[in-house]
Every structure is written in C-alpha cells, then in structure tokens.
Amino acid sequence: MNKLRGANYTEVTEFILVGLSHQPKSQIIFFCILLHLYLGTVVGNILIITVVWKEPRLHTPMYFFLCNLSFVDLCSTTTAVPLVLVNCLRDCPTITYSDCYTQMTIFLFLGMTECSLLAVMAYDRFVAISNPLRYTLIMTMRACFQIAAVMWLSNFLLALIPMVTMPAQFCAGHNVVNHFVCELEAVFKLVCSDTTVSAILMWINSIFILHLPFLFILLSYIRIVVAVLKIPSTAGRWKAFSTCGSHLTVVTIYFGTLISIYLKPQNKDSKDQDKIISIFYGTVIPMMNPLIYTLRNKDMIGALRKAAGKTKQATQSV
C-alpha cells in the first residue's frame, strides 16, 4: 500500500476476505454445501430458460419475465459463488481493489433488477386477474421487451452512482472485509474519509432497491385481492389466486430475507450469522426460485415432461 501525500489514509490495492478462514473445519463443510447449492442453482435456472425458450406455449409475458428472473439469479450466483468456493481453499483469501468495486457494482445492479422484476411480475398478475379480456392488449410482447430494456438500463445507471461517488480513502490496515465477498456495507465500514454524500446516495438507492418495489408489490396484491373477491364462484377465486401462488412465495422469501439482513439491529455477535444469511440469500433463494415456479405450475411441469420425453426418444434412437 502506498501512502497518500499529506493525508492519514492509504491507497488500498487489495482487500482480505475473512469468510470462515478462522474456522477450517466449518469452511470445508461450507465448501461442500455451497458447491452443491451452486450446481443446483445453475442447472435449475438454465433449465427454466431453455424450456421457456423452446416451448411456444410458454411465450407469454409471465414466462418472459420469469426467464429474466432466472437470468438474474444465474448471474448473481456466478458473480459471487465461484470466488467464494476458491477462497474456501485458500488460507488468506484476497481480492483486488478494482475487482472488489466491480463485484459490489454488479451485486447492486442485479439486486435492484431482481426487485424490479418481482414488481413487474406482480403488475402482470394484477392485469391478468383484474382485466383478463384486455390482458393481451396491455401486456404485449413488444411492451414486455420495452419494460425489460428500460428496467435493465435504469438499474445499471442507478447502481453506478454510489460506486462512483463512494470515497476510496481507507485507514492503514483497514482492508479486512468481514465477509465472504465484497458486500457493500462491509466495505463501506472500512472507509475513513467523509461518507456523508455516499451514505445519502446509498439511502436513496435503498428506496429504489427495496422500498418502492415492495410497496408496488403490496399495492398490486391488495388490488388483486379486491379483484378476486368480486369473482362470484369459489372455484374462480381459487383459480385466480393459484396463478399468483408461485410469485407470492418468491416475493415473501426474497424480501423477508432482505429485511432480516439489512433492517435488523446490528451487533458484533451477529456478524458471522449475517454472513451465513447473506450467502443463503445469494445461493439458496436463486436455487429455490426454479423449484417454486416448476412445482407449483402445471404449464412448466407439462413443458418439462415434454422436453424429458423428447430427450428420452432421442437417446433411444441413438
């Protein structure tokens, strides 16, 4: 590290990622579990994208956004998990300054995009239930592509703002990140210079990441409930609610985990627990999403059986 002229800060060239390096036995167990979770996540999400792409019946707005969600989950786990797995095999895992900032930017971008996707999918379900006759006119594939393009681009630009303005001055020896990856809050705690501007920007970003999407989803489901209650038959109400089951389950798990990580009181004893929860958030949830949407969706199950049947026939013919 080279000292900056006229300042008590140092120019950090790399960060040390603590993880579970102080618990070798636990780290081996953690490596095995994480490897299996990652492989399950990759296989599950690629399977959903492939099946939706090849099955014409699934070329609808709901499955289009589901493919986007699977792609986000695939990217977010691939950004973090391979590095964590490699670091589990190292005594003193490190990451360069530039790679750390790149990783934080990608995490923030993908997290914002996932929240936006869940909000858009809630709106899609609301339109399908409240205006079934106009659904195909409102949620056209052209409109879906435009929504997706605006969402990806705007979230990318919003994710760049706090990273560009985040101060890069660190005190001597303040390069030890108490986490498996370059998690934004863990790195932000190491900054020694004035962080007021960055803190304000991060707070504003949190509104776009968490509060606005969650509020939009909540309002969408309130209107969905009102629309469903107007359906005269019990069977009709159940059918309408069943179309929202998978999405509602994913939203509950996703935002519930986010709230447990970022909104609960912080103390020194909870640091290791928070790291494990964040890994759960980053690996288990992306693995569960394909399972939830597959096991609770007749169209997906039918498409998977059809794909499996074609694969079996092709294997037998060979």
Closest CA to 81 of 118, 29, 42, 50: 42
Q: SS3 for 66-97, per residue? A: HHHHHHHHHHHHHHHHHHHHHHCCCCCCEEEH
Q: Structural domains in the chain?
A: 13-261+271-310 (1.20.1070.10)
Residue 311 contacts by C-beta under 8 Å, 6 or more apart in sequence?
none
Q: How far apart are CA 239 and CA 43, in angstroms?
A: 30
Beta strand pairing call for 94-96 and 14-17: antiparallel
Strands of the chain, DSSP E: 2-3, 9-11, 14-17, 94-96, 170-171, 176-177
Residue 222 contacts by C-beta under 8 Å, 6 or more apart in sequence?
none
Strands of 92-250, DSSP E: 94-96, 170-171, 176-177
pLDDT value, residue 264: 60
> Which runs of consecutive H residues, i.e. helices, occur in 91-138?
97-130, 135-138
**Could you tell me if 231 and 130 are in contact, meaning their C-beta atoms sit under 8 angstroms apart?**
no
pLDDT value, residue 6: 43
Q: Note the maximum CA span of the chain.
A: 76
* Residues with pLDDT less than 70, the chain: 1-12, 19-24, 162-174, 193-195, 198, 260-274, 276, 280, 295-296, 307-318
pTM: 0.84
